Structure 1
Amino acid sequence: MASCDDRPVTAHHEQPSPETINTILATIYGQCIGDAIGLLSEFLSKQEAKEHYGSVAKILEYEHKQLCKDAHRLSWKEGDWTDDSDQMILIMRSLVDCDGKVNPVDFATKLTEWIKHGYKELGDHAGLGLGTTTAKVTSNYEYLRDPHERARLVWERNGKRVASNGAVMRTSIVGVHMYWSLDDVAKNSREIAKTTHYDPRCQASTVAVSVAIASMLQGKHKDWRGNFRVNDIILEAYEYASACLETDEEKQELTFYLKCKRIKNLKLDEHLKIGYTYKSMGTGFWALKQDNFRKAITKVMLQGGDADTNACVGGALLGCKLGLSALPESWLMKLLHKDWLDYEIKKYFEMMKWEWNFQPKDKRIETS
């Protein structure tokens, strides 16, 4: 079993401002909301997503999942998020147990336990939705001895071609953690990514998303009106993410996905390529260019493909940009396990020695 007993104690940052606390919560909630909404069309084509949900797109709610009653969607209850956010919470738990230190073996241990049992307190029997790359890496009996090495070997044995989105989907909390130091955020995101996804593109995509979140939490790149200059956020994310890559061609591809302005150009339901890490990262940065959370996440969902992952990355980035008040009330308060999520966040805040008054936005809406 992993141990954090000999870890150095990580220096904790001073209490963030109320505005920053708001933004941190919007990032975490935005991820989980996007995940739960994206589930509605995960693995559907764009045409199928439109057929099932086009008529309710402007009033979309979790309950509309019943409009597509297939075996995949029936695996989750209404308002539940998927493995994407489950693994984000595993990272949060690992940070708590290791007093803020990123410990790849501790996270890997928690991940393997989750794969076997899920979250027992939520009634899980196993971790649902596990990606192929993560399954291959974690199934080896030597995985916990050196997670990075096992991930590297799986990547090499697959011809160094596979760059799936199983690392970028969970990285929002890494952007929150130690947000005041972009160098540490970039380093931490690579450390966590490489526990399952070794490909440089996987590392680059997690760095880009995490650094963008941290940059916004710092309050950088704002104009005189207080609005974020998204192009400047993208340039800084590129600066850190491109350090994971070697060739100009690789960096040009990264640039395309970071700067893409039309969601259709991401081809999110492209056959046999829906799980490409840059598609999810690109969706996140497309969402960052938007100004309406409901419209943006609904549009992502209507693209089909790996919609839960694409929407959770987009939800985290756009939530971070717009803040808590921009999240649709029903989408936030009707998250199936919001109270449990709040408890997990509270433990993280306590570890960081931060305070947050845990009060629902609207007490008239009953949480599960």
Structure 2
Amino acid sequence: MGRLTLQRRVSYGVLWISEHSACSAGSGTVQRHYEGQILKRQFDHRHGRGALLGMACGDALGTTLEFQCIDAAPFPTLLTGPHTHITGGGPFNLMAGQVTDDTQLACCLAQSLRAYPDFNPRDLANRYCEWSRHAFDIGSTTIGSLNRVRNSEVPFHGGRDHWLSTNRRAAGNGSLMRTTPIGVALGADQAKCRTVSLADSAITHFDPRCQLACASFNAAVAEAVYGKASDTQQVFDAALDELPLAAAELRGQYPTYRKEIDLAQFDMACDLTLAMGDDPELYPPHLDGFGRAQGFVRVAYRLAFWELLHAPSLKVGLIDAVNRGGDADTNGAIVGGLLGAYYGADELPQEWQSLVLNALQNQNSGPWRDDYHPKQLMALLDQISA
């Protein structure tokens, strides 16, 4: 198979693309041609399972160190510990294998996608709202938006109104942390995957940086799960290619916010540029990504792609990410989703998978009810594979 004839140059976060693949920015679709053949995208169960369980295991691994300020070695050193096993504990005193809001929201998303494979934003928003009534861990942007969603006819208006109420500054990682099921379930259709990624984020995290991060991230997940990626660069390139297409779709939907969308596209391209280097500039004096800025979407997004390009395995990437502290469970979930999609479930320790899938099953009420258990992710996987 020939190489993709795509030339790019990245400089100071600005992306110039010379496309030799068929590309229609207006429709938001891309067809990649290899020696005149359109690449057919087929689901790979092992990589789909790796993405979903990588997310859940990263969440369960990271919760132990959540919110901790850790004096870790600077990049590009890959941390090898001290935290190397799923042990529970953390600020919520969880059992080993229990997951937090990252995976629980992803389970809501997975259930909605099972019920409505073509996507039903009202159903999804209702599931998020119902979950929030029982949540033991919930981000400020998520709860602020969902409080508005309950009283809004259009789900996206809740997220938009909350964003506007924060002077257009709220750009947390709460939609990126849950988004992996979209890339796994809808990645065969790149345009649909893009549209749903943007729409899901908008329910709670309307900021264009959050929406573009989700679309770009899921393009990478889809490339790994459906595209039979031969190396990490191919997965990274899928994320890079997606940014201008997703930004064009957002401009069409929300022309009022064109300035913010343009800036968001620039920022996310900057993050991918920095992810390619030895130092992703996530520590002071650049961005205090594991301290005051720990919940910022650009931190988790940049870190995930840095780990993709620099960690030699899924386990190594997860251990490095969570041992840096900060929003460790969310960073673990996002890194785990991306690297799990690329490396596949076979590279995820079996002990971790068992802990996550067997923790607190068959609960009928409260925050641990089965609706929010990682086995919902496996049910989605089974439906995709059927």
Aligning the two structures, in what range does the TM-score lie when normalised by the shorter sequence? 0.7 to 0.9
* 1:62 pairs with 2:79: no
The residue aligned with 1:301 is: 322
Q: From the superposition, tell whether residues 32 and 115 of structure 1 become closer, same or farther in structure 2 (CA, over 3 Å).
A: same
The partner residue of 1:36 within 55, 60, 66 is: 60
The residue aligned with 2:222 is: 214
Q: Secondary structure in 2 aligned to 1:60?
A: coil
Q: From the superposition, tell whether residues 249 and 56 of structure 1 become closer, same or farther in structure 2 (CA, over 3 Å).
A: closer
Greater Cα offset, 340-349 or 178-187:
340-349
Looking at structure 1, the residues matched to 233 and 293 of structure 2 have their Cα atoms a distance apart, in angstroms, of 32
The residue aligned with 1:277 is: 297
The partner residue of 1:253 within 237, 242, 267 is: 267
Deviations 1:314-359 (A, max 9, x none): 101101111111112222222254677574245324544x33xxxx
Looking at structure 1, the residues matched to 292 and 83 of structure 2 have their Cα atoms a distance apart, in angstroms, of 31
**For 1:1-368, what aligned pairs fall within 5 Å after superposition?**
20-47=44-71, 57=81, 60-63=84-87, 65=88, 72-74=91-93, 76-98=94-116, 100-116=117-133, 126-140=134-148, 142-143=150-151, 145-219=153-227, 222=230, 229-243=234-248, 244=250, 246=258, 249-259=263-273, 260=275, 261-262=277-278, 265-267=281-283, 269-289=289-309, 290-335=311-356, 337=358, 343-349=375-381, 351-352=383-384, 354-355=385-386
One-letter code aligned to 1:288? L
Q: From the superposition, tell whether residues 308 and 275 of structure 1 become closer, same or farther in structure 2 (CA, over 3 Å).
A: same
Deviation (angstroms), 1:49: 11
Looking at structure 2, the residues matched to 142 and 162 of structure 1 have their Cα atoms a distance apart, in angstroms, of 19
Looking at structure 1, the residues matched to 181 and 148 of structure 2 have their Cα atoms a distance apart, in angstroms, of 27
> RMSD across aligned C-alpha pairs, in angstroms?
2.9
Looking at structure 2, the residues matched to 206 and 42 of structure 1 have their Cα atoms a distance apart, in angstroms, of 22
One-letter code aligned to 2:111? R
Greater Cα offset, 171-180 or 135-144:
135-144
Question: Is the Cα contact below 8 Å between 1:26 and 1:320 reproduced in 2?
Answer: yes
Deviation (angstroms), 1:16: 5.1
Question: Is the Cα contact below 8 Å between 1:291 and 1:322 reproduced in 2?
Answer: no
Looking at structure 2, the residues matched to 262 and 143 of structure 1 have their Cα atoms a distance apart, in angstroms, of 46
Deviation (angstroms), 1:55: 11
Deviation (angstroms), 1:90: 0.4
Q: TM-score, normalised by structure 1?
A: 0.77
Question: Is the Cα contact below 8 Å between 1:179 and 1:218 reproduced in 2?
Answer: yes
Q: Secondary structure in 1 aligned to 2:71?
A: helix
Question: Is the Cα contact below 8 Å between 2:182 and 2:193 reproduced in 1?
Answer: yes
Higher strand fraction (1 or 2) = 2
Q: From the superposition, tell whether residues 180 and 283 of structure 1 become closer, same or farther in structure 2 (CA, over 3 Å).
A: same
Q: TM-score, normalised by structure 2?
A: 0.74
Looking at structure 1, the residues matched to 322 and 73 of structure 2 have their Cα atoms a distance apart, in angstroms, of 8
Deviation (angstroms), 1:87: 0.4
Deviations 1:72-124 (A, max 9, x none): 141x22221110010011011011222x12111101111111111xxxxxxxx
The residue aligned with 2:21 is: none
Q: From the superposition, tell whether residues 47 and 15 of structure 1 become closer, same or farther in structure 2 (CA, over 3 Å).
A: closer
Deviation (angstroms), 1:167: 0.5
The residue aligned with 1:10 is: none
Q: Secondary structure in 2 aligned to 1:143?
A: coil
Deviation (angstroms), 1:293: 1.5
Deviations 1:281-330 (A, max 9, x none): 11221222122122111111111111111111110110111111111222
Provide structure 1 residue ranges, at least 5 long, that are not aligned to the other structure. Answer: 1-13, 117-125, 356-368
Looking at structure 2, the residues matched to 204 and 55 of structure 1 have their Cα atoms a distance apart, in angstroms, of 29
Looking at structure 2, the residues matched to 49 and 105 of structure 1 have their Cα atoms a distance apart, in angstroms, of 45
The residue aligned with 1:119 is: none
Deviation (angstroms), 1:129: 1.2
Q: From the superposition, tell whether residues 256 and 15 of structure 1 become closer, same or farther in structure 2 (CA, over 3 Å).
A: closer
Deviation (angstroms), 1:242: 4.1
Question: Is the Cα contact below 8 Å between 2:216 and 2:238 reproduced in 1?
Answer: no
Deviation (angstroms), 1:44: 0.8
Q: From the superposition, tell whether residues 350 and 297 of structure 1 become closer, same or farther in structure 2 (CA, over 3 Å).
A: closer
Deviation (angstroms), 1:177: 1.6
Q: From the superposition, tell whether residues 336 and 256 of structure 1 become closer, same or farther in structure 2 (CA, over 3 Å).
A: same
Question: Is the Cα contact below 8 Å between 1:221 and 1:233 reproduced in 2?
Answer: no
Deviations 1:231-290 (A, max 9, x none): 423422334344447556543321221231446622364543111111111122122212
Looking at structure 1, the residues matched to 217 and 118 of structure 2 have their Cα atoms a distance apart, in angstroms, of 20
Q: Secondary structure in 2 aligned to 1:145?
A: coil
Question: Is the Cα contact below 8 Å between 1:207 and 1:240 reproduced in 2?
Answer: no
Count of residues in Structure 1 that have an aligned counterpart in Structure 2: 317
Looking at structure 1, the residues matched to 141 and 56 of structure 2 have their Cα atoms a distance apart, in angstroms, of 22
Looking at structure 1, the residues matched to 167 and 228 of structure 2 have their Cα atoms a distance apart, in angstroms, of 40
